[in-house]
Amino acid sequence: MFRSAEYTGTYFNTEGLPTTGLPEVVLCGRSNVGKSSFINSICNREKLAKTSSTPGKTRTINYYLIEKSFYFVDLPGFGYAKVSRSEQAKWADVIDKYFNFSKNIALSIHLIDAFVPDSNLDGDFHNFVTAKGFRDIKLLTKTDKLNQKEMSKNLKIFSENYPGYVRDESFFLYSIKNSKYQKTLVKFILNNL
């Protein structure tokens, strides 16, 4: 885990976004995929980032300074079906603007629900982020919810959808219920700032 973490700010749109001057590790994914839970888990801080069981709540960009050496930037979740199309377009716009604005993006972590390895929304985001040329890794979240059989089935689907991604090199498993997933990822992030 990371030993120090500090929430530094929330932005409702891209106006006034900070120029941090430090590497930024971006967290992206569908609404409710577990972005905030991931931050809390890997920093071992229960309430650093607000989590919610109601999808669609995070409409903001949140910054967290980690070990005084880099930032986690938690972007709005995309693709929550129950909000209007115009609202969804606005969030997509915020994501696009952030990626265009920041000159400090070291790594994009694309969180994908281990139960849903073939969502079109994730496919769209994948195309977006790789077309822009950012370093991108995938994090399969909530793995505790799948049994072994479901996991191997979904890993196969994942590999078909994202060919070339290699376990523990460019994709990682995660669960907030088991700290065993942290070490590899912490090492990877620190080596890729």
Q: What element of type H or E holds 7?
A: strand 5-11
Can residue 156 be called a binding residue for ligand GDP (CB under 6 A)? no
> From the CB of residue 181, how many other CB atoms can be counted at a distance below 10 Å?
22
Tell the smallest beta-carbon distance from residue 148 to Mg ion (Å): 29
Tell the smallest beta-carbon distance from residue 188 to ligand GDP (Å): 18
Can residue 58 be called a binding residue for Mg ion (CB under 5 A)? yes
Chosen from Mg ion, ligand GDP, none, partner binding at 142 (C-beta under 5 to 8 Å by type) = ligand GDP
Q: What element of type H or E holds 128?
A: helix 120-131
Single out the residue of 5, 43, 48, 58 in contact with ligand GDP (rule: CB under 6 A): 58
Nearer Cβ to ligand GDP, position 123 or 160? 123
Burial 28-59 (b: 16+ CB within 10 A, else e): bbbbbbbbbbbbbbbbebeebbebeeebbbbb
Instruction: Using CB under 6 A, list all residues that contact ligand GDP.
Output: 29, 31-37, 51-53, 58, 77, 141-142, 144-145, 175-177
